[in-house]
Chain A
Amino acid sequence: MNGKEQEREESAGFREKLQSALPPLGNAEPRRDLWPLMRQRIAEGRKPLFSAAVPWLSRVPWFDWALLGLAGAALLFRPGLIPALLYHL
C-alpha cells in the first residue's frame, strides 16, 4: 500500500468515525408546515415596535432608564435639590 492510498484509507476511517457520532441529516424534514410561522413573522414585521422606529432607544441600557427615573422622581418630590443639582452641573 503506497502512502497516498494509506492516507485516503485513514481519512475514510476518520470520516466514518465522525459520522458514527454525528449521522448525516441529509433528508431531515420540518416537523410541521412553517407557513403559519412565516405569516406571523410577516404580521409582526409590518407593525414596527417603538424601539424599532427609534433605534437609539433600544441601545440605551435599562439601568440608565432606571437612573433617569429615580433622578426625575427625586426632583419631583424634593424640588429643593434642583439648585444643588444645577450648582454641580
Chain B
Amino acid sequence: MDVLARFAAGDVESFEPLFRRYQGQVYRWIMRIVRDQTAAEDLTVETFWRLYQSRARLDPSLNCGAWLRRVATNVAIDHLRRAQPMQPLVAEPADDRQVDCVAQREMRVRIRQAFAELSPRLRVVAQLALIEEESYQGIAESLGISLSAVKLRVFRATRILRKKLEECGVKP
C-alpha cells in the first residue's frame, strides 16, 4: 500500500515517511518564491501541517507532489502579502562576493527593488518564469490558473519591471 494511501486511511505513523519524501521538493519550491531560508522552512512546515489536517478528506489516488506544490504556492503567496512590501529580495550570498563594478552592483539593487515592489501575484509568476525558468504550464498548475493567465501576468510583470528600471536609469 502506498504511503499516501496509508496516511489517508488513518495511519498517522506514515506521515513521517511522507514528510521526508517531499520536504526537499516543497522547500525548494517555496524558496524559489520567498527567497528566504527561515521563512521557507516555516512555510514548508505549514504546508505539511495543512496536509496533516486534511488527512480525513484526502483522496488516496491524488498526486501528492502536485497537491503539496499548490498548497505551498498559496502559503508562500500569503506570506508575501503579509511581509513588508518594499523589502528587497535577497540574492545568493555568493553573488555579493563577486568583484563587481559599482554600476553593475547598483543595477542589481535596482532590479531586486523593482521585483520587491511588484504585487505578490505578479511577483510569484515573474520569479518563477523569468528567474527560475519554470514552464508556464507548471506555473499555471501550481497557481490553479489558466495558461493564458500566466502569460498575461508574465507580460504585465515584464512591462512593469522594464518601466521601473527605465525610471531608475537602468537600460532593461
Chain A residues close to B by CB (< 8 Å): 14-15, 17-32, 34-35, 37-38, 41-42, 45
Partner of B91 from the list A17, A22, A41, A42 (CB cut-off 8 Å) is A22
* Residues of B with C-beta under 8 A to A17: 107, 111, 172
Query: CA–CA, A32 to B158, complex, Å?
Result: 35
Summed over the interface, the residue pairs from A and B with CB atoms below 8 Å come to a total of 95
* Residues of B with C-beta under 8 A to A20: 104, 108, 111
Q: List 15 A-B contacts (CB under 8 A).
A: A18-B115, A21-B108, A21-B115, A22-B35, A22-B89, A22-B111, A24-B132, A25-B92, A26-B132, A30-B27, A30-B44, A31-B41, A34-B45, A37-B41, A45-B49
Nearest chain A CB to B4 CB, angstrom units? 16
* Residues of A with C-beta under 8 A to B132: 24-26
Is B121 engaged at the interface, CB distance under 8 Å to the other chain? no
DSSP majority for the B interface? Answer: helix
On whether A28 and B31 interact (CB within 8 A), knowing A14-B162, A15-B130, the answer reads yes
Partner of A23 from the list B42, B92, B115 (CB cut-off 8 Å) is B92
* Residues of B with C-beta under 8 A to A34: 19, 23, 27, 41, 44-45
On whether A38 and B48 interact (CB within 8 A), knowing A21-B91, A26-B32, A30-B41, the answer reads yes
* Residues of B with C-beta under 8 A to A28: 27-28, 31-32, 37, 40
Instruction: Scan residues 84-117 of chain B and give those whose CB is less than 8 A from a CB of chain A.
Output: 89, 91-92, 94-95, 104, 107-109, 111-112, 115
